Structure 1
Amino acid sequence: MKLATYLDHADTSSTSVGVVQNHRVHRIADVRSMRDLIALGLDAALAAGERALVQPGTDLDQVRLLPPLEPASIRDFVAFEEHVEGVRRSIDGAAGVVDAWYDAPTFYFTNPHAIVGPDAEVAFPARSLARDFELEVAVIVGGEGRSLNSDEASQAIFGYTILNDWSARDLQSREMQVGLGPAKGKDFATSLGPWIVTADQLKPYRDPDGFLALECVVDVNGARVGHDLLSNMGWTFESMIAYASRDSRVVAGDVLGSGTTGNGGCLAELWGLNGRQDPPPLRDGDTVTITVQGIGTLTNTITTAPPAPELPTFRRPARQRNLRTTA
């Protein structure tokens, strides 16, 4: 089942959640948000969707698809070895993959308040010239728990969507020299959409090891840039959820990104392999389209945000160790 959040052109006063089928969306009654629907659990959500399909739907041309959900949090993993090797060469100038990467499915937290939906503009920081996309698939957590095992993590999967982790590579390269991040090189925008495909729909694509064998492609202005199989991940989504919950907590509505695919899943990988920015960085007006088998297509257009105000310069403190007070 495909579950979407949308605005009806005939009534833009409030958003709706619905089931997409045969180019129509059928509103699910008595649900305020996708997060509320997810919190009901997958079985209850599917039942609500079946009831909605009995009702007349609205043609997709008559609605505006929004980000499918407002995430509780976003953890973005780096599960593709080929991507790590190429981007490390591009960002850090180093070859190979660090040994620690193989220990566990590494992730970082990104901004759940900067979500962009399908067919929307993505405003890059004005300071950035090395603008990049990242082709990813995200899993949506549908349950809550701590230190889940793989079986419990499997039961916690609600569905999947496409994720584009937009990246200002020049900002990212500079700030990660501090040993933290990425921060401002990433948190200006993350695209999700066009909808959530429930977990039951993708079971036929599972290979014997539990990976989803989905074809993933990305085009810039209609020209193919990247093409990979999602099953080339080093860890399953179940492993990612289990690791995210280790000594911590996951909740319904958490989003976990797969990390960028290999074979051109982002420009920086190709820059690292080619030794130069070829293909060129994204520019205003460029259109990036990601298509993932079994899920759908997510398209966005690049633009530039207004220049941000300057920060005060660093103040070197006198490093006093004791407070001096006056009577």
Structure 2
Amino acid sequence: MQLSEDEFRSELSKFRDEFQLLRTEVGKRIVGQQPIVDGVLISMIAGGHVLLEGVPGLGKTLLVRTLSEVLEAPFSRIQFTPDLMPADLIGTNILVEGDDGKKAFEFQRGPLFANVVLADEINRATPKTQSALLEAMQEHSVTVAGTSHQLEGVFFVLATQNPLEMEGTYPLPEAQLDRFLMKLLVPFPTTEEMETIMDRTTAGEQKPPDKVVSADRVLQLRDLSRRIPIADEIRRYAILLVMGTHPEHEAATDMVRQFVRYGSSPRGAQALILCAKIGAVLDGRFHVCKDDLRSVAHAVLRHRVMLNFEGQAEGVSVDAIIDDLLEKIGQEVAMAG
């Protein structure tokens, strides 16, 4: 539906109000972690998935469960283990007997058929099981016995992995990492936040969050955010940031050439622009600026930049490489302007 300029601005104002409502309700359960909450909400509206990395006990599971509650959306949690099979995720055909005595195969849906899915410790599952999740994340469908089953409406996967315990794990391949819109690093709470957490969790029952946004409304917000215009210059800047992660490209920094084996795919540029558009709306603007791209660059690119042997051996941080890239390309664009 074509909206007039006034109607479009009014819809974007509602967008900001509803996003703030989501923030507030999630904040009833989650203490601090505002960048993580914002990143998760932005990814969900943008239509992507999130990889959460952090040590156990930081509220990753609680965040996902709370999100499903404020959205009025079906939620499922899948604990990934080495013996988990694809059928445990997507479902399987079972033989059932009808009232007339005839037997037929009927598809029994697995836990992937939900709006919000928590894939806990995803790197503990075997590659075979990981690949089943990959199809669902990319195609929004699963295939069983040659029949494709669509995942309707909002389908949002939040996967967690523990950066400390690596024994018995199967690292996600680059192709699967690339399917995640963002990778968010969950920090340890501050002393003040720990005090608030203790007050909330040891002094009585917590008030449940209110349901404030429907899953269908999320799809409407997604469509609305994609209508935000982006100037050719800003789009080229996003492309240049992605091309600069490739060591053979002229935009690459010295750090990229020395420590990076392979840079971001075109999905990185798509993710930058989609997330930047939502950031512009939340900032009260009706166009994307370079700061919108910079603000999401680390979350969008950190899992798409692969270090070479030298980078791994020296313990180089991918975030430091992105910092260097943002600084260099920012200077070059300023000089060109």
TM range (shorter): under 0.3
- Identify, as 1 or 2, the structure richer in strand: 1
- Identify, as 1 or 2, the structure richer in helix: 2
What TM-score, normalized by structure 2, do the two folds share?
0.21
